[in-house]
Structure 1
Amino acid sequence: MTTDTFRIGLMFSSTGPYSSVAEPMLNGALLAVSEVNAAGEVRLDPVVVNPGGDLSRYAALSSQLLSSGIKQVVGCYTSSSRKEVIPAFEKYDGMLWYPSHYEGFESSDNVVYTGAAPNQHILPLIDFLMSSYGDRAFCVGSNYIWAWENNRILREMVTARGGTVLAERYLPVGETDFAKTIEAIILARPSFVFSSLIGVSGYSFIRRLRETCVARGIDQPAVMPVASCNLNELDLVDIGDGAMDGHISSSVYFSSLQTPESRAFVESYAKAYPDKPWASADAEASYIAVKLLAAAMSGAGGDEIGAVRRALADQRLAAPQGEVSVDAETMHLCLTPRIGRSRADASFDVIRQEPAPIRPDPYLVRFSATEAWGSPASRLRVVS
């Protein structure tokens, strides 16, 4: 029996201002490709392209992949890049597998979203922060749609509950000069700092904030912790010694999860990439995307997007984060929200989590800003 081989695209900015995030995503995808090929039900032939973090290159590279006959592409990290390429996927009738948490408020028949939707990351985070630290928020973000939309959701939720958003600061992707922003934060003394900075900007901000607070005798993690929906293990390594601990992250996966699937993923990832062995939620999301894609193509008997979409609707996967399944209505995944607190050894303690996967709500149609997150059907539970 001959195993069918399918070319797929992998499009990640493994160089550029957010390469430290996108490179693990590419690694997770390639790890899944190797496991799929070893299993033998289908074979994947990956074609890797690198936009280098240059937004203007994404559409051209997408068209290049799709016009060559490739129908399925796993890729993009930023929402700006995703929105840049969707017209090409609609034109060529291809499928983008977008493996990143994102701000929601989008739907396309040509996109499968394998990262967390807003009700699976920002809503539980805000609920946790307001119940644990207070109701005065200071927002810092990279100047593009991810930060704009997350801060809009946060602003609506915080103000509806009687809290205050003290300020919002937006800086260019790649910016590392935060002196004025940090002074404004220290002067305002918020209950928490919500960061939607990406790449080197995020690492530099957290490091400089900690250094400034230490110099002034301020216990920053205790009195105004940094909280984020895009902070993971590899980010902590890049932040560096002395500033890794005490940050709050909302994610569907942390590599410290002690499930057989998580341990196997962490071990396989470290073996495949010994120079940067830290598995993360970003790597896991692209790993999941490739696994689900392969299963759907096997079920569809090909890579045509209509058949793949129909086959995908029945897919469930025992992923490193736990069981995930496809919500056929939205083409997002049912995922399990978790809250983690970072440690000085570049890992996270999972301090709260939802007891089961929750259905994605990308447009927040089931969202009430004044109710505790998940009520009444589900709530985060304390795990430590």
Structure 2
Amino acid sequence: MSRIRIPIGLMFSQTGSYGTVGQSMLNGALLACCEVNEDRKLGIELEPMIADPASRLSAYAPTAENMIDAGIRHVVGCYTSSSRKEVIPIFEKRDALLWYPTHYEGFESSENVVYTGAAPNHHLSPLIDFLFNHFGGRAFCVGSNYIWGWESNRTLREGIQARGGMVLAERYVAVGETEMDRVVESIFDLKPDFVFNALIGESSYAFFRAFRKACEERGIDQRTRFPVASCNLSEPELKEIGPDAMDGHFSSSVYFASIDTPESRAFVSAYDAGFPEGPAASAEAEAAFVAVKLLAQSLHDAGTTDLQQVKRAVSRQMIDAPQGRVSIDPETLHAFLTPRIGRSRKDGQFDIVAESNAPVRPDPYLIRSSAPLEARHGRPALRVVS
């Protein structure tokens, strides 16, 4: 049976300050392309055009333009929120569709974006509950100086304050900045119950190393006295942090490679076989994998690359992904996902310490999960994993 060849774009930074995460996302997308192309029942063959913006914000818009000029209507890509916001006007103007496969801060919805990564009610809301209930209400926030850091810290601050707690301080550093001494000293001065980390890439890795080293020099067990929690810490980044400081950190996500299900085991096995040099399988890789799978099924069902028909088709899809069942909310084009919280280990994996019993409807504007917090509806009911 003849198959229809369809070009798609894969736009991930494989180099630069967050190149490790970008490479894992590209790997996940390429794995899905291989599986789609081997599936004769779908009747399509994806032809990926790969581009590397090299973690430079200024490179994303021309990269997207080049792909669309080449006839590509569907692009899976971007990691940072700043890169996403840089290209959305282009996709809206040129009538193309961006498939955005990573967690983000929310408060956005575009008719030209399908969001397969976690919305804030999938990662921030459950993490706020977890931290407040387990460690206390005095938070210290540190983040990269752009929208992800600003909005993540704002959401955490509002959630902590609504529970009667407080944010003692917020500190921001430029993307790629690795000098963390002043941030670390501020933590020691203020003595919070926990640290919320919204740094990305090399800045985040440097912070974990510097904070652990400073604690050890003072005879402090950082894991218990100053627990650090993130919404963007994944397996490839633990290796970048290094063996001396990678363990004991909390991450709120929808996927960890340690999930023990047939779908997750198959994904990790195929990923490791396809990319033995790494980086390791992660939530970002899984979200990119899911994005390509949903795109392929939607292209098959629509029988065309036309955006309106593909968007109608994607709202009817449901796949058994590595993380569990995933579908797309037709109202927001965000995904139903399963929230989880993990604690990092010295072997570069996570122990899952809490998780939702079922996929949770996306709430990008925190409408259902914000008023008032003690009586809110729609947020995930996490169960503690023994």
| Normalised-by-shorter TM-score class | over 0.9
Deviation of 1:368 after TM superposition, in Å, equals: 2.7
Which residue is 2:163 aligned to?
A: 161
1:74-133 CA deviation, whole Å, 9 max, x = no partner?
A: 000000000000111111100000001000111111000000000000000011000000
Deviation of 1:186 after TM superposition, in Å, equals: 1.1
Which residue is 2:259 aligned to?
A: 257
Deviation of 1:379 after TM superposition, in Å, equals: 1.1
Which residue is 1:248 aligned to?
A: 250
Distance 2:378 2:335 in 1: 21
CA pair 318-376 structure 1, distance change in 2 beyond 3 A? closer
1:329-362 CA deviation, whole Å, 9 max, x = no partner?
A: 1000000000101111111000100100010000
Q: TM-score normalised to the size of structure 2?
A: 0.98
Task: Tell me the SS of whatever aligns to 1:65.
Answer: helix
Which residue is 2:142 aligned to?
A: 140
Distance 1:147 1:168 in 2: 10
CA pair 377-108 structure 1, distance change in 2 beyond 3 A? closer
Greater shift after overlay, 372-381 or 31-40?
372-381
Give the gaps of 5 or more residues in structure 2. none
Which residue is 1:24 aligned to?
A: 24
CA pair 215-237 structure 1, distance change in 2 beyond 3 A? same
Give the gaps of 5 or more residues in structure 1. none
Deviation of 1:219 after TM superposition, in Å, equals: 1.0
Which residue is 1:92 aligned to?
A: 94
Greater shift after overlay, 57-66 or 127-136?
57-66
User: Size of the alignment, in residue pairs?
Assistant: 384
Deviation of 1:223 after TM superposition, in Å, equals: 1.3
Deviation of 1:310 after TM superposition, in Å, equals: 0.8
Distance 1:72 1:277 in 2: 25
Distance 1:373 1:27 in 2: 41
Which residue is 2:360 aligned to?
A: 358
CA pair 277-84 structure 1, distance change in 2 beyond 3 A? closer
Distance 1:165 1:90 in 2: 38
CA pair 175-314 structure 1, distance change in 2 beyond 3 A? same
Which residue is 1:37 aligned to?
A: 37
Distance 1:37 1:372 in 2: 48
Kept in 1: contact 2:369–2:378 (CA 8 A): no
CA pair 345-146 structure 1, distance change in 2 beyond 3 A? same
Which residue is 1:275 aligned to?
A: 277
Which residue is 1:5 aligned to?
A: 5
Which residue is 1:367 aligned to?
A: 369
Kept in 2: contact 1:24–1:283 (CA 8 A): yes
Residues 1-384 of structure 1: matches in 2 within 5 Å? Answer: 1-40=1-40, 41=42, 42-276=44-278, 278-368=280-370, 370-372=372-374, 378-384=380-386
User: What is the letter of the counterpart of residue 48 of structure 1?
Assistant: I
Q: TM-score normalised to the size of structure 1?
A: 0.98
Kept in 2: contact 1:160–1:369 (CA 8 A): no
Task: Tell me the SS of whatever aligns to 2:46.
Answer: strand
Task: Tell me the SS of whatever aligns to 2:105.
Answer: coil
4+ long deviations beyond 6 Å = none
Deviation of 1:297 after TM superposition, in Å, equals: 0.1
Deviation of 1:54 after TM superposition, in Å, equals: 1.0
User: What is the letter of the counterpart of residue 31 of structure 2?
Assistant: L
